[in-house]
Amino acid sequence: MHHENNVQAPAEAGETMHHAASDAAATAPFLAFTGTGKSLFFLYIINGLLTVLTLGIYSFWGTTKIRRYFWSHTKVQGEPLEYTGTGGQLFVGFLIGIVLLGLLALIALVTDMLFGPPAGTLTGILIALLFAPYAIFRSMRFRLAHTRLHGIPFGLEGSPVRFAGRTLLRSFIALVTLGLMIPWAYAKVTADILGNIRYGDKMFTFTGKPMALVKAAILPMLLVIVPMAAYVGFLVMLASGSLAGYSSSELRTLILIIASALGLLTFISSLLWQCRFIRWAATGMHFGEAGLTCSITPLRLFVALLKFMLITLFTLGIGLPWAIVGLQRFFMQLYEPTGDIVFADVHRGPEQHEATGDGIAQAFDFDMGF
Amino acid sequence: MQHCALYNDGLTPETAEVSPQMSAGSLVFEHKGEPCRWPLSRIDAVDGWSSRPLRLKRTPDTYERLTLPAGSRTDEIVRHIRMHRGIRLPVISKFGVAALTAVVAMVCWGIFMGDVTTRFIASCIPHDVEKAMGRQAMESLLPLLSLNTTPEWCTSAESQAALDAMQSELLSPEDPQPYEIRILHSSFNNALAIPGGTILVTSALINDLQHPDELSGILAHERTHITQHHGTTSYVRNAAFSMVLKMFAANSDTLRMIGGSAQALMLLRFSREAEDAADSGAVRALHRAGIPISRLQDFLVRAAPPPEDGDTTLQLIDRYLSTHPDTPHRVKAMQAQYDALGTPPPRQSPLSSRQWQAVKNACSRRTDQL
């Protein structure tokens, strides 16, 4: 079909766009989420129905639609992000992951047959431990390589194998120090990811110091460790008969009070840790001369999570899309740039051919949750 | 020049204002003094055709993006593009048709070929492997059945000789293999066919029996389960379904739940079919040996009395959730099959009352040796 009739662009639309173009970046918030609970609700319903009708096969395309929705409603200085991944890529990656899972089971079985029962399980765990960070890295690379802003894709540099090796070593250090070095290990892993992100051909830099996160983790850790030690001491006293003078109902009440206090302190500790980690990660990020700040506080996070929980609970889960949108908006408005973000020296970087990483990670249920 | 759209050239993040116009089946505009021509047949929407502002891209993707503002002119451009592209089946519909075809094919295979395939696989499993599977199943079943971590077996030479004599009555040239018969000390009323060739009868069941022909009927029934590999087939079917479920429902909790329920219902249906087949085998064996089936029928009615108030809705539901067919159906079907076989031959060697007493007293001596 051939059309000769020309369609002229209208003056009013042109003016609107002109103003929008020049003013958008200046007036728009740094990050904003423009999705609505209603549209997300219908997206979830359709995805759910199609997933059930197709015995789950559609879930990969459903995940892609959800991601496209979230990406296109996330605006950076007024410009929406774009997700270019496809359901087919997730599906193929998942099938590869299933084959790898089968291979892993086979290796464990053969090792068991050759060296006796615990050998297979241990080999399986070791391979899975090594494979988890590898799959997570590739999953992150997939998501970044399929995210675009102004048409220019992001990317993640570095080798997933080296990342897996370093992560395994750090996990080992965290283990032998009885968990005390977990914040350090987590900081190093985070820096490995955030410091290797690029936009076009320009790398982000990450200046967050691991020891700063270790210091930030001291209070949240103490909030859990000290009452936990007290609780264990109480249980030891109980077992040794030192509390024989108390009646059983008094002891029950005491246990209830201590356990509740421990639960509350763990929750407070978790809020504190999350806020400190998010702030540490945000302030460490730089793009050229521009930095990032995050105004999250434990109280604000608590209120946002409480709202999320109440909406979900009182609507028996139907309100979940609205709660998710609310939480998304909450997180977006926390971030502010320091300094001007300059795109002038950015060019499209080399294309990253990451097609299956996310699907493989899904098959193993690995996700770092950045 | 009127500016009405934003253009990203895909080389840098820089956004330029352009004025696209329709001309000879293309969207044309000027960027940095260079003419750009986007053929309408090669234009696609980034976030869907209904989103506004409308982000457009070229196919195959050149990283370029053209963003048109909301307005009647954009709607008109969209109409032209869609006319040029022709009416295309949305990707979701294409995928939907393919996925539904795959699902229908899988369901058809499950209904028509799944049964044949799993039976075939089960019959191909070597006898030693089947025996090992049976041993493994017995190890997990025995503690549950005997409510004891060290199960006790009822043993006496007289009872064993009597049981062997009973079984030899049931053997035929087509089915000459005698199986091991063991009496387990247990308060549960049950008899089980273990894959590979062991029949387990509980002491509570022996106590409950009123006539040796009842036990002959039970042994004939359990023998058929072993001969026809019902246990192994059920295992293969369960494993195959679990694998399919893991593959396709890994991404959805809802689907896992639905799939799990479907799996349970399928196994129950198979169990009822296997019980019908075992009843048929028992009828043939009893007829061949000249043993009347009335005693077996009496036992079935005593073990699972039919409801007095006919088929209520709950009973109908229960029928679909039961591992065994309902008693009236079983009794009637057995009678019809027995009658169809004609007059039975005269019985050769019925069990003496002394032998029967030996079976009844089998549990006066017990051992924990398997």
The CA distance from A257 to the nearest CA of chain B, in Å, is 35
pLDDT at B105: 72
A291: confidence class by pLDDT, cuts 50, 70, 90? very high
Q: How many CB atoms lie within 10 A of CB B43?
A: 21
Q: Which of A14, A68, A87 sits opposite B4 (nearest CB)?
A: A14
Q: With an 8 Å Cβ cutoff, are A59 and B10 in contact?
A: no
**Cβ of residue B242 closer than 8 Å to a chain A Cβ:** no
Higher pLDDT, A237 or A170: A170
Q: Which of B46, B247, B254 sits opposite A52 (nearest CB)?
A: B254
Q: What percent of chain B lies above the pLDDT cut of 90?
A: 21
Q: How far apart are CA B225 and CA B279, in angstroms?
A: 9
Q: With an 8 Å Cβ cutoff, are A54 and B17 in contact?
A: no
The CA distance from A359 to the nearest CA of chain B, in Å, is 11
pLDDT at A54: 76
Q: With an 8 Å Cβ cutoff, are B20 and A150 in contact?
A: no
ipTM score here? 0.77
Q: How many CB atoms lie within 10 A of CB B241?
A: 20
Q: With an 8 Å Cβ cutoff, are B25 and A56 in contact?
A: no
**Cβ of residue B252 closer than 8 Å to a chain A Cβ:** yes
The answer to which of A31-35, A102-106, B98-102, B214-218 has the lowest mean pLDDT is B98-102
For tokens 């090594």, name the residue. A130
Q: How far apart are CA B262 and CA B247, in angstroms?
A: 15
Beta strand B191-194 pairing with B34-39: unpaired
- Does residue A2 carry a pLDDT above 50? no
- CB contact at 8 A, B286 and B299: no
Q: With an 8 Å Cβ cutoff, are B73 and A61 in contact?
A: no
pLDDT at A18: 44
If you measure CA to CA, which chain A residue comes closest to B5?
Answer: A17
If you measure CA to CA, which chain B residue comes closest to A53?
Answer: B100
pLDDT at B87: 54
Higher pLDDT, B322 or A83: A83
Mean local confidence (pLDDT), A82-107? 87
3-state secondary structure chain B: CCCCEEEECCCCCCEEEECCEEECCEEEEEECCEEEEEEHHHEEECCCCCCCCEEEEECCCCCCEEEECCCHHHHHHHHHHHHHHCCCCCHHHHHHHHHHHHHHHHHHHHHHHHHHHHHHHHHHCCHHHHHHHHHHHHHHHHHHHHCCCCCCEECCHHHHHHHHHHHHHHCCCCCCCCCEEEEECCCCCCEEEECCCEEEEEHHHHHHCCCHHHHHHHHHHHHHHHHCCHHHHHHHHHHHHHHHHHHHHCCCHHHHHHHHHHHHHHHHHHHHHHHHHHHHHHHHHHHHHCCCCHHHHHHHHHHCCCCCCCCCHHHHHHHHCCCCCCHHHHHHHHHHHHHHCCCCCCCCCCCCHHHHHHHHCHHHCEECCC
Q: What percent of chain A lies above the pLDDT cut of 90?
A: 47
A65: confidence class by pLDDT, cuts 50, 70, 90? very high
**Cβ of residue B50 closer than 8 Å to a chain A Cβ:** no
User: End-to-end CA distance of chain B, in Å?
Assistant: 95
**Cβ of residue B11 closer than 8 Å to a chain A Cβ:** yes
Higher pLDDT, B150 or A167: A167
Which residues make Cβ contacts (< 8 Å) with residue A166, sequence separation at least 6? A188, A189, A192
Mean local confidence (pLDDT), A329-348? 91
The CA distance from B99 to the nearest CA of chain A, in Å, is 6
Per-residue pLDDT reduced to its tens digit, B129-147: 888 888 878 887 888 777 7
B chain contacts of residue A105, beta-carbon cutoff 8 Å: none
- CB contact at 8 A, A284 and A208: yes
Q: With an 8 Å Cβ cutoff, are A7 and B84 in contact?
A: no
pLDDT at B246: 62
Mean local confidence (pLDDT), A170-180? 89
Per-residue pLDDT reduced to its tens digit, A14-46: 444 444 455 556 678 899 999 999 999 999 888
pLDDT at B283: 93
Q: With an 8 Å Cβ cutoff, are A151 and B63 in contact?
A: yes
Mean local confidence (pLDDT), B236-261? 65
A chain contacts of residue B103, beta-carbon cutoff 8 Å: 53-55, 57
Length of chain A in residues, anyone? 370
- Does residue B19 carry a pLDDT above 50? yes
Mean local confidence (pLDDT), B224-249? 78
A5: confidence class by pLDDT, cuts 50, 70, 90? very low
pLDDT at A7: 39
Which residues make Cβ contacts (< 8 Å) with residue A290, sequence separation at least 6? A337, A338, A339, A340, A341, A342
Q: With an 8 Å Cβ cutoff, are A12 and B71 in contact?
A: yes
- What would the two tokens of residue B306 be? 């039919």
pLDDT at B313: 62
A19, A55, A82: which to substitute to probe chain B, counting the most B Cβ within 10 Å?
A55
B255, B256, B257, B258: which to substitute to probe chain A, counting the most A Cβ within 10 Å?
B255
Higher pLDDT, B284 or A237: B284
- CB contact at 8 A, B262 and B245: no
Question: A339: closest CA among A295, A291, A281, A284?
Answer: A291
Tell me the whole-structure pTM to 2 decimals. 0.64
Higher pLDDT, A148 or B254: A148
Per-residue pLDDT reduced to its tens digit, B64-74: 999 999 888 88
A246: confidence class by pLDDT, cuts 50, 70, 90? confident
Listed ranges A18-22, A161-165, A258-262, B303-307; the one with the highest mean pLDDT = A161-165
The CA distance from B258 to the nearest CA of chain A, in Å, is 9
Alpha carbon B215 to its chain's center: 31
pLDDT at B336: 93
A5, A6, A15, A17: which to substitute to probe chain B, counting the most B Cβ within 10 Å?
A17
Mean local confidence (pLDDT), A210-227? 92
**Cβ of residue B143 closer than 8 Å to a chain A Cβ:** no
Higher pLDDT, A172 or A108: A172
The CA distance from A98 to the nearest CA of chain B, in Å, is 7
A chain contacts of residue B14, beta-carbon cutoff 8 Å: 150, 343-344
Listed ranges A61-70, A360-369, B307-316; the one with the highest mean pLDDT = A61-70
- Does residue A262 carry a pLDDT above 90? no
- Does residue B109 carry a pLDDT above 60? yes
Q: What percent of chain A lies above the pLDDT cut of 70?
A: 90
Residue pairs spanning A and B at CB distance below 8 A: 169
Q: With an 8 Å Cβ cutoff, are A68 and B64 in contact?
A: no
If you measure CA to CA, which chain B residue comes closest to A25?
Answer: B15
Length of chain B in residues, anyone? 370
Which residues make Cβ contacts (< 8 Å) with residue B344, sequence separation at least 6? B287, B288, B289, B290, B291, B292
If you measure CA to CA, which chain B residue comes closest to A8?
Answer: B21
A chain contacts of residue B74, beta-carbon cutoff 8 Å: 13
